[in-house]
Structures are given as C-alpha cells and as structure tokens.
Structure 1
Amino acid sequence: MIQHSNKKIGQLALRLTFSEEQREVTNHLGQLGWSYCQGKVGSMELQKIVAAIETASKRNAVVNGDLYREMHALYHAIIESMQGVTRGQVELKDLLRTVGLRFAVVRGTPYDDKAEGEWIAVALYGTIGAPVRGLEHETMGLGINHI
C-alpha cells in the first residue's frame, strides 16, 4: 500500500486553502484527474459550516448527494476537520466562538493499488475566536475519510 508524495490527498487539500498555491495545486489535481471544490464560510453555528461544505461539494460534483456512502464519508471528514479547528471541542456558539474559514474538498485515489478506492479530504483554514473583530487567531483542520 504505497502512497506517493505527489498523491497526498490531505496535503493537497490543505495547500488548496492557501491562495498563493492554488494555481499550482489545481493544475496538479487536474493532472491526477481528481475532483475538488473550494469556498468560504463564516459562522457561529456548526450546522451552517457543514451545510456550506456539503452544498459546495454536491454543486461541484465532488460527491453525489444521492449516495449515502459518499455523503457519509464527506460528513465524517468535515467533522474531523472541525475537531482540528476547535481543538477537539466541536462547539462554537455555546462557547461564544465564531469562525471565518476557507475550505477545500479533494476527492481522489491516493494509493497506487486501485483496490484501496477513493478517498476524500476536507481542509479548513482561517480564524476562530470570540465574536469580536480582532480577538480571533489562526486555526486549521484536516479530515480524511475513505468513500
């Protein structure tokens, strides 16, 4: 089960959230034949963040919204990435925290053995803090799941 350095799905998803690397990464993803989407979301409510990422993923055909296994894999990757953003406590509003995030979702086959199937990565980068401008700090999260 070999995973080559140019096929690290999580690293590519994270790099896609940084504006200075987007062109290089999107070209690479195109060469691999992988699908992806990007977007921004800000909220104090977890369900709005999940909905924004799910909607972008469906609209950009990264996942098929009619297939439970694809939506389930995406959901778990989102929650895992939010655990990184929130340092393990996936709560925002109740703890008086808000986030402003850029996200990237990447779907591909990171292993040489085709039997390993497709995987999905959700990367988040942005700010988290009290709902007062200027009191936030940087944060990031990454979630990877098999489809």
Structure 2
Amino acid sequence: MALRKDRCMGRLAILLLFSDDSTEHLAKLEQSNWKGCTGKVGSMDSQKIVAAIETAAKKNGIIQPNVYRESHALYHAIIEALHGVTRGQVQLGSVLRTVGLSFAVLRGNPYDNEQEGDWIAVSLYGTIGAPVKGSEHETIGLGINHI
C-alpha cells in the first residue's frame, strides 16, 4: 500500500495551488482520475472561508452536495488546513487577524488499491495578519481527509 510520488495528494494539491496555469495543471490531473478546483478567498471570518471553499467544491463537482459524508470530509480537510494557516488556533476576526488566501481542492484515490476509496485534500496559501495593510506575513496550510 505504498504511496507513489505521482499519487501523493497533499503534494499534488500544493503543486496545483502554486501552478502558474491551474487550468492546464487540472487537465493533467484529470487524466489521472483526479478532480480539482482552485480559487481565492479573503476574510476576517473563518465561516466565510469554509463557505467559499465548500461552494467552489460543489460548483466544480468535486463533492456531491446531497451526500453528507462528502461535505463532512471536505469540512474536516478545510479545518485542518486552517489550523496550519492560523498556527493551531482557528481564530481570525475575534483576535483581529485577517487572511487573503488562494486555495486548491483535490479529490482522488492516492493508493494502488481502488478499495481504499477517494480522499480529499485542501491546500491554502496567502497572507495573515492584523487588518492593516503591510502588517501581514505569508502562511500555508494543508488538510487531507478520507471520504
């Protein structure tokens, strides 16, 4: 059940996030049975970040909106990625922090055995800091969950 470099979904989600041409990169991933999307979100409210990523995943057919376990898996991957962005405390506006993030969502089976089923990864990259221009620094987060 070894992971291969070309199927390490966290790595693939981060590469998708940082790709200069996400459309081309997604087309290559889809040839290998991966589904994905990218987007941007900025807010002082973590609920808005979760909502933006969930909306993008549903709109792009990465998760089925009427299947609870898929939304639930995505939610946990988002929260795990936000823990990385916020250094363990998913608090933004309540402690006067704001973020400007790019995100990538990737779904597929990273294992050789198809019975392992699909997993979902969320990668986040951008800035975090006080809501004052010039008071931010870079941040990154990754979350992976089984569906």
Q: TM-score, normalising length from structure 1?
A: 0.96
Structure 1 counterpart of 2:111 = 111
SS where residue 65 of structure 1 aligns? coil
Q: Check if 1:36 corresponds to 2:36.
A: yes
Asked whether the 8 Å contact 2:41–2:49 carries over to 1, the reply is: yes
Letter in 2 for 1:45: D
Q: Which runs of 5+ in 2 are unaligned?
A: none
2:80 corresponds to = 80
Match of 1:17, SS state, is helix
**2:26–2:37: 8 Å Cα contact kept in structure 1?**
no
Give distance in 1, aligned partners of 2:57 and 2:21: 21
SS of the counterpart of 1:87? coil
In the superposition, the TM-score normalised over structure 2's length comes to 0.96
2:97 paired with 1:97: yes
Could you tell me how far apart the structure 2 residues matched to 1:21 and 1:111 are? 26
- Which structure 1 segments of 5+ residues have no match? none
Asked if 2 retains the 8 angstrom alpha-carbon contact of 1:15 and 1:22, the reply is no
> How far apart in 2 are the matches of 1:133 and 1:51?
25
Paired residue type of 2:100: G
| Conserved 8 A contact 2:36-2:104 | yes
User: RMSD between aligned alpha carbons?
Assistant: 1.2
| Alignment coverage as a number of residue pairs | 147
- Provide the rounded CA distance (Å) in 2 between the counterparts of 1:10 and 1:44: 26
2:6 is aligned to 6
